[in-house]
Amino acid sequence: MLKKLVHFLKKTNLFFGCLSLVVVAGGSLVTVTGFGVSHLAKAGVPADREFWERVTHAGVGSIVLGLVGTVTTTAVGASLNSFDGENKEEKNQESSQVTVSQLLSESSEDSQSISEDTSDSRRIYSYHIMKINGHPNFLEDGLVLCRVEAQEQQLLYNFISPSQLDQLATIYGEIYDVISRLVGKCFSSYQPFPKEALDEYLQIHHRYIEAVESSHIGAEYLQSCKGCSYLFAENHVVCAPQPLGWYGVDCPDKRWVSQRALRPYEDDAVVAKLNSRLELCNVIKRDCTILVRDEYTSRCFSFNFDGVLYPSSDKLTELDDMASLATYVDYFRHRKIVECDYSTSDYIDCWRYELANTNVTIDVTDNRIIVREGKSLGSKFHEFRLNGQPFNAYSYACPRDLRNNYNLVSLVDYLKRRSHKKEVS
């Protein structure tokens, strides 16, 4: 509101200032004219001398009035400009304060980000060995190391040289068909770029590579030595804590090199410990995936090295969709299995009766129960063990609705519901 009032006053003052200048100009013209005509009248020119003298006096008055108006409007305009300038300066100061505050906030966030990056919780990058075909920039028989992340739109890669391929093959224990077998392997690193990450990874394992290539120590006694800071591998001595090495991947004295970045379930020893107290279930590490295999139900669940269930993985309906690897392992450790023989006539006859109006047939052989959805040769059929669990949990015949809960009982219930819906419709 004040800004509008000041603007109005400035426009009004400008109008009166212009008017004052016009009055001064008009008064000057009138004064000159009246003064000249009055002197001509004195010289004998026929003219009303008194009238032109009054005109001259009026012109002088107009000039004085115009000059006063000009001075007044100039002073008022200066005051208004000064007031407006103060307001602008205050706003600029406020804007500067906001800008400085934002800069300080951003600087604080940047400092916090830098401190996080330099702490033990530095960002870890995942690198995958890939073979990319059909692009002129990639070698026909070569591999590349790529950093691929879901939230990023770019692919960072670096070519793997033949000597680096040989070293990677030694680290991963690949002897035959190295190119194809290295595809899919991965590791983690604190380095944000593939070239530096690969150089550091090979440097971390250089003692292990030398130990394996020397053949002085059996490779089976060096599995737990990958990336261990204690590894000596000279004069037939593996390390000071374990001079003869350790059979397996769970050496109790292993200490990782500080540069080695590890996700929670990337260490083979950690994965091996997950198998303790597990029955009819085992946890294995395959390339970049942790697999939980349930031998009882023939199902498999896949997780990344952070213990996060892959979206495409099978899921347990008993657990939350976002359940972690630790939750799954705990579930299988405490699972109670109640065996039931579904091949008895009590179950089979009952199901045959309930499905009598359908084309579904249920047959029992020596070691399996076969459910057929039709009588033709091309009909879908399901094979279950006598305890109701499928031989193949991911059979092509499995209905989509049962993809996370496929067994004999759930299939029969599904077929009954489907038959009921057809009758109603």
The pLDDT tens digits for 222-241 are 999 999 999 998 888 999 99
Q: What's the pLDDT tens digit per position in 153-171?
A: 677 888 999 999 999 999 9
pTM of the model: 0.65
Q: How far apart are CA 195 and CA 164, in angstroms?
A: 11
What's the confidence (pLDDT) of residue 102?
38
What is the rounded average pLDDT of the residues 125-154? 78
Q: What's the pLDDT tens digit per position in 335-392?
A: 999 889 999 999 999 999 999 888 899 999 989 999 999 888 788 999 999 999 999 9
What's the confidence (pLDDT) of residue 32?
76
Q: Is the pLDDT of residue 221 over 50?
A: yes
Q: Percent of the chain beyond pLDDT 70?
A: 82
User: What is the domain extent for residue 400?
Assistant: 345-424
What's the confidence (pLDDT) of residue 106?
37
Do 52 and 113 fall within a single domain? yes
Do 296 and 363 fall within a single domain? no
Dig out the tokens for 236 from the structure. Answer: 């037939």
Residue 253 covered by a domain: no
Do 15 and 112 fall within a single domain? yes
Band (pLDDT 50/70/90 cuts) for residue 409 is very high
Work out the mean pLDDT of the chain and round it to a whole number.
82
SS3 390: strand
Do 106 and 141 fall within a single domain? no
What's the confidence (pLDDT) of residue 39?
67
Do 301 and 372 fall within a single domain? no
DSSP letter at 402?
Answer: G
Please, which residues have CB within 8 angstroms of residue 168's CB and are 6 or more apart in sequence? 129, 160, 182, 185, 202
Do 102 and 6 fall within a single domain? yes
Residue 387 covered by a domain: yes
β 281-286/369-373 pair status = unpaired
Where a domain ends, among 166, 189, 204? 204
What's the confidence (pLDDT) of residue 188?
94
Nearest alpha-carbon partner for 261 in 403, 124, 406, 116? 124
Residue 233 covered by a domain: no
Do 59 and 112 fall within a single domain? yes
Continuous segment of H or E residues that includes residue 14: helix 2-42
What is the rounded average pLDDT of the residues 26-35? 75
Residue 211 covered by a domain: no
Tokens 């068909």, residue?
Answer: 177
Do 82 and 103 fall within a single domain? yes
Residue 52 covered by a domain: yes
Residue 400 covered by a domain: yes
What is the rounded average pLDDT of the residues 392-416? 93
What's the confidence (pLDDT) of residue 83?
63
Q: How far apart are CA 124 and CA 273, in angstroms?
A: 23
Band (pLDDT 50/70/90 cuts) for residue 309 is very high
Do 13 and 111 fall within a single domain? yes
What's the confidence (pLDDT) of residue 182?
93
Q: What's the pLDDT tens digit per position in 59-110?
A: 777 777 777 777 787 877 777 677 665 554 444 333 333 333 332 343 334 3
* Structural domain count of the chain: 4
